């Protein structure tokens, strides 16, 4: 049985401490929750117990949350830290992130917010189990961790990343990733490029609500793609330009839950690259190439952008079709598969094929 | 005036603002009802009608019997439901952030 993680809660209001202690005790990892009402006492407690996460109020007498954080960052650089506050102010938020806090979140006012807080802290406890490498604000953390936390706490902010290939930015509005940019590249391509960076520095900047949305994929879909990107960056992964061996793609498609049949063909020509569980793959490949090309042309003519996806409903299936990286894709899912799951799997299949 | 005409670009097609709405067509492609404004270009509607009907029919010929299709562009979503050889087509510009849900009744 894994060891129970320790969480230290710091708040000058005893009612909040009691409430948070009760809430946090319900986490799946069953943490042992200790509490204290002052920053100075918290520092002393951190000396004696190996806590996994420190949850600290921002506004406290004698030593405020930022002062506690400043000491903690110096003395316990690997400790995961959360600032929880009733004073959700953009400037404090920026300062807290600049000091390396893992999460800055408002005090929950409803069950939904309370659940969000629980998800965030559980996520931090999970991260604590994983190796510490990658990006450095003040403490080290992976870029995916930072993005997940921004999404979980439904932040509106700009994440500026200084990586080996220059600067990149990711825009969040209410926890949704809406845009990304690296020099010369925007949207999802830029997002993937940023996530492929293994080292660098980051900073959280104020939100830009006027920023145009260029990413319409779900956070889950993007992060799945990011996990894929990280896998691919490992030495054993297929290198760019490598083609999967014959039949590998079919096996890959079979691996995904809910996939009923699949087809990958060369864009415009309709030449089959891979097909699975299809009786008339050639006919379908031809139809797919023609149909996607026509809708692509319509999008260009109407000035509404490139065709993103064509979904179709049959009696038993939901078929997702799209063009991606020189190929046309059609993947059919059982209708009972939830829409978000279908979309995430479809994105993963496209991503995997591209790699 | 010649120089003014040059700047006015009178030969350029007018910029069309896509609006939210729907229309129904029969199996011949004839528009039966429409909630789209009159400013919505007729040729756009004709082109979309032809493409939607053709998609349903060609899919059927390829052994794919679709009852509904959703076409997603960065700035537009089109939903078409097959109706006895014809179709009901919903157009929703995404900037409105009010995607149309087809009536399930």
Helix (H) or strand (E) holding B45, with range, is helix B42-61
Mean pLDDT of B45-63: 93
Domain A1-127 has CATH 3.40.50.2300: yes
Helix axis angle, A111-129 relative to A14-25, nearest 10°? 60
pLDDT band at A238 (very low <50, low <70, confident <90, very high): very low
Distance separating alpha carbons of residues A251 and A276, to the nearest angstrom: 9
Domain ranges of chain A: 1-127, 133-216, 222-354
pLDDT at A76 over 50: yes
pLDDT band at B97 (very low <50, low <70, confident <90, very high): very low
pLDDT at A47 over 80: yes
The pLDDT of residue B101: 40
* DSSP bridge pairs for A104: A83
With a CB cutoff of 8 Å and minimum separation 6, the contacts of A54 are A7, A8, A10, A42, A46, A72, A79, A80, A81, A82
The answer to whether residue B50 neighbours chain A at the CB level (below 8 Å) is: no
Instruction: Given the cut 0.90, state whether the ipTM is greater than it.
Output: no
The residue among B13 and B16 whose pLDDT is bigger is B16
Six-digit token string for A175: 């926890």
With a CB cutoff of 8 Å and minimum separation 6, the contacts of A74 are none
CB contacts, 8 Å: A306 with chain B: 73-74
Sign of the Cα torsion B26, B30, B33, B39 reads: positive
CATH code: domain A222-354 is 3.30.450.30
Say which range, A132-136, A165-169, A214-218, A335-339, has the weakest mean pLDDT: A132-136
The answer to whether residue B42 neighbours chain A at the CB level (below 8 Å) is: no
Tell me the average pLDDT of chain A. 79
* DSSP bridge pairs for A205: A158
Distance separating alpha carbons of residues A180 and B40, to the nearest angstrom: 34
pLDDT in tens, A83-136: 888 877 676 776 777 677 888 888 877 777 778 888 888 888 876 665 444 444
Six-digit token string for A351: 């991503």
- Residue B85: strand, helix, or coil: coil
**Are A1-127 and A222-354 equal in CATH topology?**
no
The pLDDT of residue A289: 93
The answer to whether residue B51 neighbours chain A at the CB level (below 8 Å) is: yes
- Residue A33: strand, helix, or coil: strand
Contact A284, A278 (CB under 8 A): yes
The answer to whether residue B65 neighbours chain A at the CB level (below 8 Å) is: yes
- Tell me the shortest Cα–Cα distance from A126 to chain B, in angstroms: 35
Phi-psi label, residue A200: left if phi above 0, alpha if psi -120 to 50, beta otherwise: left
Whether A284 and B72 lie within 8 Å, measured CB to CB: no
Distance separating alpha carbons of residues A289 and B58, to the nearest angstrom: 12
pLDDT at A54 over 90: yes
The residue among A196 and A296 whose pLDDT is bigger is A296
């Amino acid at each position: 049985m894994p060891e129970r993680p320790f969480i230290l809660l710091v708040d000058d209001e005893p009612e909040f401490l009691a409430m948070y202690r009760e809430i946090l005790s319900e986490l799946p990892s069953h943490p042992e929750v200790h509490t204290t009402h002052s920053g100075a006492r918290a520092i002393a407690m951190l000396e004696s117990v190996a806590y996994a996460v420190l949850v600290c109020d921002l506004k406290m007498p004698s030593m405020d949350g930022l002062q506690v954080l400043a000491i903690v960052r110096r003395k316990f650089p690997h400790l995961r830290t959360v600032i929880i506050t009733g004073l959700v102010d953009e400037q404090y938020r920026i300062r807290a992130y600049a000091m390396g806090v893992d999460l800055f979140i408002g005090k929950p006012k409803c069950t939904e917010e309370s659940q969000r807080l629980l998800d965030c802290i559980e996520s931090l406890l999970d991260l604590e189990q994983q190796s510490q490498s990658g990006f450095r604000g003040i403490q080290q953390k992976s870029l995916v961790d930072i993005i997940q936390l921004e999404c979980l706490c439904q932040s509106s902010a700009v994440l500026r990343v200084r990586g080996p290939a220059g600067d990149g930015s990711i825009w969040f509005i209410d926890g949704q990733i809406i845009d990304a940019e690296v020099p010369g590249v925007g949207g999802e391509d830029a997002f993937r490029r940023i996530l492929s960076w293994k080292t660098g520095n980051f900073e959280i900047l104020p939100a830009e609500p006027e920023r145009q949305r260029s990413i319409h994929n779900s956070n889950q879909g993007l992060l799945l793609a990011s996990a894929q990107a990280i896998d691919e960056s490992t030495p054993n992964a297929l290198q760019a330009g490598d083609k999967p061996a014959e039949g590998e793609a079919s096996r890959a498609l079979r691996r995904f839950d809910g996939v009923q049949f699949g087809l990958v063909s060369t864009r415009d020509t309709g030449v089959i690259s891979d097909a699975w569980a299809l009786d008339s793959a050639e006919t379908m490949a031809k139809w797919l190439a023609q149909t996607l090309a026509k809708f692509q042309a319509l999008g260009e003519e109407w000035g509404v952008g490139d065709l993103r996806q064509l979904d179709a409903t049959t009696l038993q299936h939901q078929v997702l079709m799209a063009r991606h990286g020189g190929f046309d894709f059609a993947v059919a899912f059982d209708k009972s598969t939830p829409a978000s799951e279908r979309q995430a799997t479809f994105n993963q299949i496209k991503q995997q094929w591209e790699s | 005036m010649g120089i003014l005409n040059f700047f006015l670009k009178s030969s350029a097609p007018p910029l069309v603002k896509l609006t939210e709405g729907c229309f129904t067509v029969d199996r011949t492609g004839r528009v039966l009802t429409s909630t789209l404004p009159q400013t919505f270009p007729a040729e756009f509607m004709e082109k979309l009608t032809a493409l939607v009907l053709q998609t349903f029919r060609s899919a059927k010929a390829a052994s794919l019997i679709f009852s509904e299709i959703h076409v997603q562009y960065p700035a537009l979503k089109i939903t078409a439901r097959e109706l006895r050889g014809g179709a009901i087509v919903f157009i929703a510009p995404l900037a409105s952030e009010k995607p149309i849900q087809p009536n399930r009744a």
